[in-house]
Structures are given as structure tokens and as C-alpha cells.
């Protein structure tokens, strides 16, 4: 088992890593405890700073452009329900699912506070338990890496195919393998293991709040391969390729003007071939064959 000291990653605060080939029941519970432990303050800088909000907006716009208001959506790994309540307020009906009971409670409370409880159903269901859900969805989305925690991505794909109507859409934001900012930042700091953490094969133990999140990293091509049997690829794009990743938000605040310019570059050319294979996350859109 490889163990390295790590500080921060994608939308998690990463403290340490180690690796395993498959995720066991015990490891799924590690991940659940990790997210339970941060649910209370996940809407703050940890889970929703300016850079996260920027990426969030790209997913919102993509879902809105792919699926008309009134559609029935499934949110995989809904967290505190920011996306679910946003879509509900625009006329969508959302089943918001998560493996962390504390996150599900937060989603339920958010929907109630917004008067959206008729349109948001919060359910304690992991992405590895989708056989528990009834189908008939028009679209399924997942934001900021819940699918990086799925023990068997192929099983998720099969369940998504069952749950979606033909022609239905998938819109996922996924933690990618190749983040130039991360490579550069940690290489300059001479923290080479940290710089290359996303190259790991199999599940990587990522420390957060003294707990462990078992995480798989994917390139867009690797990710799509798991879905290709049931889904056609609509397209994918980089998220936060030129813009720094969310954990460098202090750098962003010190260089806001320049970073905003980089963000516009992401918006303009982040879907170009080759560039779209990089970035902190990638946003991928597929449709049911």
C-alpha cells in the first residue's frame, strides 16, 4: 500500500492518500463517514467556494439546455441539495440521492426551506444501490465527483440505462486524471507524489476531515468506456482547465482579474479536442441509445 502526504484535491480537502484495487463494504462506509462529517458546513468554502460555483453553473446551463423544465431528473450524490433545489425552482422534478445520510438530511431541509418539497424527493441511496430506484427519468445528473466514488462504474451505467427513458440524457461532472494546475503547483513545491496522485489505478484513499474517501480517477475516455454499451457520447469538456482548481481559491482571490480571463478561456475553448481531456473536472453528456 502506497501512502503519501497530500493537502488538497478537487472539491475535497485531501490530506493523505493510499491505494486499493477494489472498494469494499468497509471502504464505502469510510466514504460515507467522511461526507457525513462535513455535511453541516459543506455549503461553505469547503464545498461551494467561488470556483466551485463557477463549475456548478456550467452543469446547470448544460442540464437546462439538454432537458426542458418539467423533466424528471435523478441527482446522483446530491450533497446538500444545491443543484436539486435549483432545478426544482425552475420547474424540474428531482429525486436527489446520496450515500451520506447527513447529506440527505441537508437536502431535505434545503428543499423544505425553499418550499420545494413537492418537487424534490431526497433519498438515502448510494450510486452502488440504484437497483432500489424505480425508472422513468428523463435525465440523470451528478455533480462534483460522486461517480468517482462508485465501486463499479459499469454497474452504475447498467442501472442508469434501466432508469432512463430511451433518448434520456446523462450529465456528469467527474474528477479527471490530468489537471495541469495540480501538476505544476505541486511539482514547483517539490511534492511529486502529490502532483501525480491522479495517475493512480484503482481506488485511492483520499483523506478529508480525518476520514477517508475512496476515489477513482478517470480520463473522459476511460469514463465513457464504462457507459458505451448503453449510451452514445454527446460531448465532453474540461472544467477548470485554465482557471485554477477550487482548492487554489486563495490564489484566485489574489489574482481575480487574470483568473476571470482564464475562466473565459475555459468557456471558449474547454471543449476543443485535446484540451477537453484535461482540467480539474470534466463535464460529459451522453444519451440513452
Ligand X SMILES: C[S@@+](CC[C@H](N)C(=O)[O-])C[C@H]1O[C@@H](n2cnc3c(N)ncnc32)[C@H](O)[C@@H]1O
The least CB distance from residue 187 to ligand X, in Å, is 25
Choose, by CB under 6 A, the member of 127, 140, 164, 284 that binds ligand X. Answer: 127
Residue 2 sits at the vertex; the CA angle it makes with 6 and 150, to the nearest 5 degrees, is 75
Least distance from ligand X to the Cβ atom of residue 27, Å:
10
Using the Cα atoms of residue 118, residue 123, residue 127 and residue 131 in order, give the sign of their dihedral. negative
Residues 6+ apart with CB under 8 A from 155: 128, 130
CA–CA separation, 257 and 40 (whole Å): 32
Q: Is 255 in the site for ligand X (CB under 6 A)?
A: no
Q: Choose, by CB under 6 A, the member of 54, 67, 116, 146 that binds ligand X.
A: 146
Stretch of 71-79, 85-93, 179-187, 259-267 contacting ligand X, by CB under 6 A: 71-79
83 is a site residue for ligand X (CB under 6 A) = yes
- Largest distance between two CA atoms of the chain: 52
Beta strand pairing call for 16-20 and 93-98: unpaired
- Cell numbers 440524457 correspond to what residue? 169
- Residue 147's closest CA among 11, 36, 250? 11
Nearer to ligand X, 132 or 254 (CB): 132
**3-state DSSP assignment of residue 7:** coil
Size of the site for ligand X (CB under 6 A): 22
47 lies in the site for ligand X, by CB under 6 A: yes
Using CB under 6 A, which of the segments 72-80, 189-197, 234-242, 244-252 binds ligand X?
Answer: 72-80
Which residues here bind ligand X, judged by CB under 6 A?
11, 31, 35, 47, 77-79, 82-83, 98-100, 103, 126-128, 143-146, 149-150
Amino acid at each position: 500500500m502506497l501512502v503519501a502526504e497530500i493537502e488538497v484535491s478537487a472539491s475535497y480537502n485531501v490530506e493523505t492518500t493510499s491505494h486499493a484495487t477494489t472498494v469494499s463494504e468497509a471502504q464505502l462506509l469510510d466514504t460515507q463517514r467522511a461526507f457525513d462529517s462535513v455535511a453541516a458546513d459543506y455549503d461553505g468554502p469547503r464545498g461551494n467556494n467561488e470556483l466551485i460555483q463557477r463549475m456548478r453553473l456550467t452543469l446547470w446551463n448544460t442540464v437546462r439546455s439538454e432537458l426542458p423544465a418539467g423533466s424528471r431528473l435523478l441527482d446522483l450524490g446530491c450533497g446538500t441539495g444545491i443543484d436539486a433545489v435549483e432545478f426544482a425552482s425552475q420547474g424540474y422534478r428531482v429525486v436527489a440521492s446520496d450515500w451520506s445520510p447527513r447529506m440527505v438530511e441537508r437536502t431535505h431541509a434545503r428543499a423544505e426551506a425553499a418550499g420545494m418539497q413537492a418537487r424534490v424527493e431526497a433519498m438515502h441511496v448510494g450510486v452502488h444501490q440504484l437497483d432500489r430506484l424505480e425508472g422513468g427519468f428523463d435525465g440523470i445528473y451528478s455533480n462534483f465527483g460522486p461517480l468517482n466514488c462508485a465501486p463499479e462504474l459499469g454497474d452504475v451505467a447498467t442501472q442508469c440505462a434501466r432508469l432512463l427513458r430511451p433518448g434520456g440524457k446523462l450529465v456528469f461532472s467527474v474528477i479527471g486524471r490530468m489537471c495541469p494546475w495540480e501538476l505544476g503547483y505541486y511539482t514547483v513545491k517539490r511534492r511529486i507524489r502529490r502532483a501525480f496522485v491522479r495517475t493512480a489505478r484503482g481506488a485511492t484513499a483520499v483523506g478529508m476531515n480525518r476520514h477517508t474517501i475512496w476515489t477513482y480517477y478517470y480520463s473522459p475516455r476511460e469514463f465513457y468506456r464504462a457507459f458505451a454499451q448503453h449510451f452514445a457520447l454527446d460531448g465532453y469538456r474540461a472544467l477548470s482547465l485554465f482557471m485554477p482548481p477550487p482548492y487554489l481559491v486563495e490564489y484566485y482571490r489574489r489574482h481575480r482579474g487574470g483568473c476571470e480571463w482564464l475562466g473565459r478561456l475555459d468557456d471558449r475553448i474547454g471543449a476543443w479536442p485535446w484540451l477537453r481531456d484535461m482540467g480539474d473536472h470534466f463535464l460529459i453528456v451522453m444519451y440513452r441509445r
